[in-house]
Structure 1
């Protein structure tokens, strides 16, 4: 039997605090979601002023990144390059940049999804959160 790392509550809180700090430092009103390796929600917060829809998009981006074990931007790029069949991929509905997997020792242990500003800025916030684990 093999073992693998996983996100514990302290890890999730560190990621969330760092992501929130990055968003607030840039005055970006966003929703932040953190999921485990199966895409199950571990944390979600919506900062003041964030659009209501961002609370649905952020966990979808995180789930897509966790299940695919890659940034959700990969799927957005494939679709934009004409591979529209990915729009029907089962279980993946956050096919926009802003979902970033959390990789530890070669294992995907979860992902962070952010929504509310430009997609590249969403990803910046997610990556800042993940960097808190280092």
Structure 2
């Protein structure tokens, strides 16, 4: 039987704090969502000034990254590259800004960010994951 790693509350809060600090450093108003390995929302934080729609998009990005075990940008790139059949995939948000959280080769969750330019969303997501020291 294998041991399964999972995100605990303290780790989720540390990721959200680190992601928020990165966003504030650049004066980006964003929504930060953290999901478990099944794409279920563990935490949602909509920063002051973040667009209301970002509170819907960020969890979708996190869910997509968790279920797909890859950055959500990969799906966006496939679709933009002509593989439009992926539009029918049962994923919520195939936009850049969702990043899986990997430990020992296994996905333990994901973080999704919405509110700035796509690369900036990913930058903030990766800053959040960096707080875990993985």
Figure out how many residues of one structure are paired with residues of the other and give that number: 133
Question: Tell me, which stretches of 5 or more residues in structure 1 are unaligned?
Answer: none
- Using the alignment, how far apart are the partners of 1:110 and 1:96 within structure 2? 17
The alignment's TM-score, normalised by the length of structure 2, stands at 0.98
Q: Aligned ranges for residues 5-84 of structure 1 at < 5 Å? A: 5-84=5-84
**Partner secondary structure for residue 59 of structure 2:** helix
* Moved segments of 4+, more than 4 Å: none
Alignment of 1:85 with 2:85, yes or no, is yes
Question: Tell me, which stretches of 5 or more residues in structure 2 are unaligned?
Answer: none
Question: Shift of residue 70 of structure 1?
Answer: 0.3
Q: Aligned-pair RMSD on alpha carbons?
A: 0.5
Question: Shift of residue 2 of structure 1?
Answer: 1.3
1:122 matched residue in structure 2: 121
The alignment's TM-score, normalised by the length of structure 1, stands at 0.98
Question: Shift of residue 114 of structure 1?
Answer: 0.2
Alignment of 1:95 with 2:91, yes or no, is no
